[in-house]
Structure formats: C-alpha cells, structure tokens
Amino acid sequence: MENASAACRRIERDFRETPSGPEDPGAAEKDPEGPQGGLVIAMERGRAMIPASKAQPAIVRTERGLTVAGTRITLYDVMDCLKARYPPELIRGLFELTEEQIEAALAYIEANRPQVEAEYRQVLEEAEELRRYYEDRNRERMARIALQPPKPGTEEAWKRLRVAKAKREPGV
C-alpha cells in the first residue's frame, strides 16, 4: 500500500491527465486500488485535494480555511508547527490527530505547497494586522492598569515576580 503523499501525487497526476475532469467540482471519484473497495478523492474547484477513506474528504475548506475534516485544526496550525520544525509525531500529539489525519494534512500541504503557502502568508498577515490593531486600541488601558497599585495581600507575590523578571531581562 502506498503512503498518503505518494497516493496524492499519483491521484493529482491522473486527474491532470484526464481531459475533462469531473463534471461536478464537488464530486468524488473512486479509486479501485484504494483500501476497502475504494479511495475517495475530495474535489475542490476541479482539483484533486487528498485521498480519504470511507467516502469523506480528509481536508475540507471551511470558514476558517483549509481544515482537517472532523476537527477545528487548520492547515495553518499545522504549518505553524512545521515552520517551528516540530516532527509530525509531536504535531499529531499536540492537536490530537490520528495517524491518517496527520498524513493527509502533510500530504495535502506537500501536494499543494504554493497555494497553501500563499494562504498561510495571508493568515499570518491578517493575524499581525489584528495584533497591531488591538495593541493600539488597548495601549491606554494597559498603561492605566500598570499604574494601579497591587491588590491588598498580593504585594509579596508582585515583588517576587519583579525580581524573577529582572533576572530574566538583563537590561531591566
């Protein structure tokens, strides 16, 4: 049995070689070589996405973007971990994915790298824009909170916190 990445590349190649492609872009086609009587390939905008068993696509597009089916985990979450050089086993455990789900996510990313990278960059840009917006919006409020005296009974804890912070930050 071939691994998910090889299967995805083969399916995508076969799809490109098919002159007309599927009539319905949301349709799925069966691969007789797949496990348990067929491997279902999810179609997105006329392109093969990734192989999935039991007639369910493994990667779906939701309002959150490209998502591992049956979870709230986006491929952008997986990309964050890949950029941090996490091994697949750690990513799988971190997001509580099955072996099939992590293989499907990694295969989809590899098979569609330019598209996924472009969407990932856009997600990062939007996140940075939101961070700057809320930082600016809350700057005055955070300054007021910082000037407030500690609540009664917490002075000692705040003192220990300042000492620990000073040890970590040599320039402070």
pLDDT, tens digit, 9 for 90 and up, residues 89-135:
999 999 999 999 999 999 999 999 999 999 999 999 999 999 999 99
The three-class DSSP label of residue 51 is: strand
The three-class DSSP label of residue 73 is: coil
Decide: 75 and 66 in contact? Cβ < 8 Å: yes
C-alpha span between 26 and 164 (Å, rounded): 56
Residue 33: the pLDDT is 39
Supply 148's token pair. 């407030």
User: What residues contact 107, with CB distance under 8 A and at least 6 apart?
Assistant: 3, 4, 5, 7, 8, 50, 51
Q: Give the C-alpha distances (Å, rounded to integers) separating 79 from 4, 6, 102, 130.
A: 18, 20, 12, 19
Residue 5: the pLDDT is 47
Residue 141: the pLDDT is 92
Helix 4-17 vs helix 99-111: angle between axes, to the nearest 10 degrees?
40
User: What residues contact 121, with CB distance under 8 A and at least 6 apart?
Assistant: none
Residue 96: the pLDDT is 96
- Give the mean pLDDT per block of 10 residues along the chain (172 residues): 47 44 40 37 45 69 93 95 95 95 95 95 95 94 88 88 88 56
Decide: 27 and 43 in contact? Cβ < 8 Å: yes
C-alpha span between 97 and 89 (Å, rounded): 10
User: CA 110: distance to chain centroid?
Assistant: 13
Residue 149: the pLDDT is 85
Amino acid at 25: P
C-alpha span between 125 and 56 (Å, rounded): 31
